Amino acid sequence: MHTKKRILAIHAHPDDVEFQCAGTLALLKQAGHDVTIATMTPGDCGSAEHDSEAIAAIRRGEAKAAADLIEADYVCLEFRDLAIFNDDDSRRRVTEAVRRLRPDVILTAPPVDYLCDHEMTSLLVRDACFAAGCPNYATRLWDPSKALDHIPHLYFVDALEGNDRDGRPLPVAFHVDVTEVFELKRQMLACHASQREWLLRQHGIDEYLDSQKRWGEIRGAEIGVAAAEGFRQYLGHPYPHDNRLLELLGQDGRGGRGGSKGS
């Protein structure tokens, strides 16, 4: 029986989701699930020519345009670039977001990556998944959301180019075949024109989209498909251990089909 699930993809900046898991989100949306893309910041340091408020407004619009392509919602938690910290106020803020959005499945940043914002996002989201189910953990808002009655299934996306801070490969636990929606994923990333144009000017080539394609092909080759995205499920106690993501996609994580898509 088809049961609609709520999917939340939350990463640090506009375009991070589009690089790492937009194909999976497109497949989930096509399977009939509700999808929300969230960013911790509006990307306020992502420009050499606009001030922080101007580029933040531009990048919020780009993020919404990308989400619109798959009829997903977009929200920003309004932290600021290079100012995401694993502290009490931040944890309560992310917990409130999780309670408000009430996801069944969360995709988030990896715990080890090249940038502090990514790593802090991973920590905050991991702990918010647990805290969201604790009724006595108050988020200190005037109108707080009700505590969850479960811990969401939690997954980490790839680090940039699959490496840790020192360039050493970080293995993934399973892959999602995104071949059929890769062009849509590419269109979502192309919505982030401010970043694409910045890199075009800096590098002289369309490195932004080329790097997305190259990494999709590398992960795809690992399971014998044209394009894939890599994931690792967080299996800490007492987080869920069954692989709900693959079940919803009807894939087996190795390039084949399995599970019960859409259930």
Over residues 225-240, the pLDDT tens digits come to 999 999 999 999 999 9
**Beta carbons within 8 Å of 241's beta carbon, 6+ residues apart:** 233, 235
Report DSSP letters for 100-161, one per residue: HH--SEEEE--SS-SSHHHHHHHHHHHHHHHHTT-TT-----SSPPPPPSSPPEEEEEPPGG
Is 155 buried (19+), middle (13-18) or exposed (0-12) by CB count in 10 A? buried
Q: How confident is the model at residue 206 (pLDDT cuts 50, 70, 90)?
A: low
Q: Are 90 and 77 in contact (CB under 8 A)?
A: no
pTM (2 decimals)?
0.95
For domain 6-249, give its CATH number from 3.40.50.720, 3.40.50.10320, 3.90.1580.10, 3.40.640.10. 3.40.50.10320
- CA dist 112 → 3, 27, 163, 212, 239 (Å): 33, 26, 9, 19, 20
Mean pLDDT across the chain: 94
